[in-house]
Amino acid sequence: MQTRRNFIGNVATSLAGTLATGRVLGASDRVHIGVIGVGDRGTHLMREAAACPGAEITALADIYARRRDDALKLAPNARAYVDYRLLLEDPSVDAVLIATPQHLHAESFIDAMDAGKHVYVEKTMAFTVEQAKAMRAAYLKAGDRVVQIGHQTCSMGHVTDAADYLSSGAVGQVTAIRAHMYRNTPHGKPQWTRPLWPDMTPETIAWNAFLGGAPARPFDADRYLNWRLFYDYSGGNIHESMSQQLAFWYKVMALDIPHAVTMTGGIYRWNDGREVPDTMSVGMIHAPGLLFTWDSGFGSNHPGVGEDVLGTDGTISRGQQIRYFPQKVNRPDGAELMGQTPTPPQAHMRNFLDSIRTGRQTNCPFEIGYRVSIACSMAIESYYAGRTIQWDPVKEELV
Q: 11-38, pLDDT tens digit by residue?
A: 333 333 332 344 556 655 899 999 999 9
Query: Do the beta carbons of residue 272 and residue 190 sit within 8 Å?
Result: yes
Q: Is the pLDDT of residue 70 over 70?
A: yes
pLDDT at 8: 35
Domain locations in the chain? Answer: 4-154+348-365, 157-194+231-342+377-398
CATH superfamily of 4-154+348-365: NAD(P)-binding Rossmann-like Domain (3.40.50.720)
Summarised one tens digit per residue, pLDDT across range 83-99 is 999 999 999 999 999 99
Instruction: Quickly count: other Cβ atoms within 10 Å of residue 65's Cβ.
Output: 17
**Axis crossing angle, helix 4-17 with helix 129-142, rounded to the nearest 10:** 30
| Residue % of the chain over a pLDDT of 90 | 92
1.10.645.10, 3.30.360.10, 2.60.40.1260, 3.40.50.2300: which CATH number matches 157-194+231-342+377-398? 3.30.360.10
First to last CA, the chain: 16
The DSSP 8-state label assigned to residue 298 in this structure reads: S
Cα dihedral: 174, 178, 179, 184 (round 10): -160
- For residue 183, what is the enclosing H or E element? none
Q: Is the per-residue pLDDT at 41 higher than 70?
A: yes
Q: What is the mean pLDDT of residues 299-305?
A: 98
Q: Kindly tell me if the per-residue pLDDT of 238 is higher than 90.
A: yes
pLDDT at site 23: 57
Specify whether the CB–CB gap between 139 and 357 falls below 8 A. no
Residue 257 has pLDDT above 80, yes or no: yes
The confidence score (pLDDT) of residue 9 equals: 38
Q: What is the pLDDT of residue 317?
A: 98
2: confidence class by pLDDT, cuts 50, 70, 90: very low
> What is the residue-averaged pLDDT of the chain?
94
352 contacts 365 by C-beta, under 8 angstroms? no
Res. 313: pLDDT tops 70: yes
Residue 347 has pLDDT above 70, yes or no: yes
CA 151 to chain CA centroid, nearest Å: 5
Question: Of 19, 16, 95, 61, whose CA–CA distance to 351 is shortest?
Answer: 95
Q: Check residue 287 and give its pLDDT.
A: 82
Asked whether 176 and 291 are in contact (CB, 8 A), the reply is yes
Query: Which of 309, 367, 365 has the alpha carbon at shortest distance from 339?
Result: 309
Instruction: Output the pLDDT for position 24.
Output: 58
